[in-house]
Amino acid sequence: MGAALVAVLTALGALAATTASAAPTAKAGGGGHGHLSISKQYFGSTVEPYTGVNTPTYRYTLTNANGVSVDLLSYGAITQAIWVPSRNGHEADVVLGFKTLQDYVTFASPPVTANGGPYFGETVGRYANRIALGTFKLNGQTYTLPINNGVNALHGGLNGFGNHIWHQVGPLIHNSHEVGVTLQLVSPNGDASGAAGSPGCPSGCTGYPAQITVDVTFTLNNAGQYGIHYKVHNDSKTLSTVQNLTNHSYFNLAGENSAAGSAYGQYVRINANNYSPTDTTQIPLPGLANGVPVAGTPFDFRAPHTIGSRISEVSAPDNTPASDASLTKGESQLLIAQGYDHNWVLNAQTPQTTGPDGLNLAARAFDPGSGRALAVWTDQPGVQFYSGNFLTGTLVGISGNTYRQGAGYTFETQHFPNAPNNPLFASTTLGPDKTFNSTTIFGFSS
């Protein structure tokens, strides 16, 4: 083992031992950005799909006293940028994103049926991840959704929550321990419906049942913790619905404008003994309530490994049951997804994995070059770790560089994919007049 690798592993060991409240290093020269602050500015206007009306959008900038700042858009409730200092105080934007509103409208999740777009930084809903064949049964009837990812519905369909303009509710949050804002979207009964012959709906789509009101509160504190709290209320008195929200930020702790493939050199640890293998359409295999063990496979991130170290090991065991060969066509899980794009089943919470707000550790990431680290805590049962496999060099990012495979990765905290069709998975049904609450925290340090 080389000395450099020993040093990295030592640093990772120290990272694992850090407390949930560890603050990032201040900028060189001291002082950082001063006290906690939040600002709001006009970001352009675009047509809101629900109303057809040209509507203004805004960008909120949340800044802490230690050099961490977040740019958040009301369009799509999108996290556009997160600036984090390195161990030497040099700042970098550590999430992939676009520069202009028009870029987001055109490229982030365009209403087309070819994989839906990259979803950079979006608040994804009404149902994050995939629903098999775009259909599920509830309320005594079958509901249908636009097909926008092979044969499945992905991330809410052709017009998901990332395609809408969210509205601020209440005053900006600015107190002694955090700054933030609450953004709201009212999703109507029949959201994502479509007439027969419309894109993704050859036979027509009913959309999702029940009106829901979604409030997402984004906060930043001086410990470098970017908190996202989801509150979903079913406004219907009679209809149940399904919901599964997440944040779709792509992280690259070296900086979003770093060298091609740089994310593959970053270390990831996932707090999961099991993951959910999928069929060839990326729907979790049936009969596996807790997935399969990661042990002995390239999916084992229980100890830190670089993303790229095993991503090409398509001949390695992946612990997919032989009885499911007809669903996988005998293909490796890494071939099916063209890398990592799977649900990890998070381990039960322990005192050692309990973080801020009493949340469970989902994952950690570390960039040895900059010393930047990320910890993800959540109350959700799973996390979709996606290695940016479908970034093909066709998108120009916020700093003017193209994004390719190895440019970034996601930690999408979630209930499991296709849960509305899999009774073995934790339910994503939200009953009439019921409220769902969930919190995920992304903590940055250096």
- Give the range of the structural domain holding residue 375, as residue numbers without chain letter: 3-267+370-384+398-445
Is 362 inside a domain boundary? no
Is 324 inside a domain boundary? no
Half-sphere exposure of 223 (CA within 13 A, CB side): 17
Catalytic residues, by residue number, are 248, 412
Is 98 inside a domain boundary? yes
Is 252 inside a domain boundary? yes
Q: What is the pLDDT along the chain (446 residues), one digit of tens a residue?
A: 444 444 444 445 444 433 333 333 333 323 344 599 999 999 999 999 999 999 999 999 999 999 999 999 999 999 999 999 999 999 999 999 999 999 999 999 876 655 568 999 999 999 999 999 999 999 999 999 999 999 999 999 989 999 999 999 999 999 999 999 999 999 999 999 999 999 899 999 999 999 999 999 999 999 999 999 999 999 999 999 999 999 999 999 999 999 999 999 999 999 999 999 999 999 999 999 999 999 999 999 999 999 999 999 999 999 999 999 999 999 999 999 999 999 999 999 999 999 999 999 999 999 999 999 999 999 999 999 999 999 999 999 999 999 999 999 999 999 999 999 999 999 999 999 999 999 999 999 99
Q: What is the pLDDT of residue 426?
A: 98
Is 296 inside a domain boundary? no
The C-alpha atoms of residue 210 and residue 416 are separated, in whole angstroms, by: 21
The C-alpha atoms of residue 284 and residue 226 are separated, in whole angstroms, by: 30
Is 23 inside a domain boundary? yes
Is 345 inside a domain boundary? no
Domain count, the chain: 1
Tokens linked to 429: 């049904």
What is the 3-state secondary structure of the chain? CCHHHHHHHHHHHHHHHCCCCCCCCCCCCCCCCCCCEEEEEEEEEEEECCCCEEEEEEEEEEECCCCCEEEEECECCEEEEEEEECCCCCEEECECCCCCHHHHHHHHCCCCCCCCCCCCCCEECCECCEEHHHEEEECCEEEECCCCECCEEECCCCCCHHHCECEECCCCEECCCEEEEEEEEEECCCECCECCCECCECCCECCECCCEEEEEEEEEECCCEEEEEEEEEECCCCCCEECECEECCEECCCCCCCCCCHHHHCEEEECCCEEECECCCCCECCCCCCCEECCCCCCCCCCCEEHHHCCCCCCCCCCCCHHHHHHHCCCCHHHHHCCCEEEEECCCCCHHHECHHHCEEEEEEECCCCCCEEEEEECCCEEEEECCCCCEEEEECCCCCEEECCCCEEEEEECCCCHHHCCCCCCCEECCCCEEEEEEEEEEEC
CATH code: domain of residue 38: 2.70.98.10
Is 287 inside a domain boundary? no
Q: What is the pLDDT of residue 55?
A: 98
Q: What is the pLDDT of residue 114?
A: 57
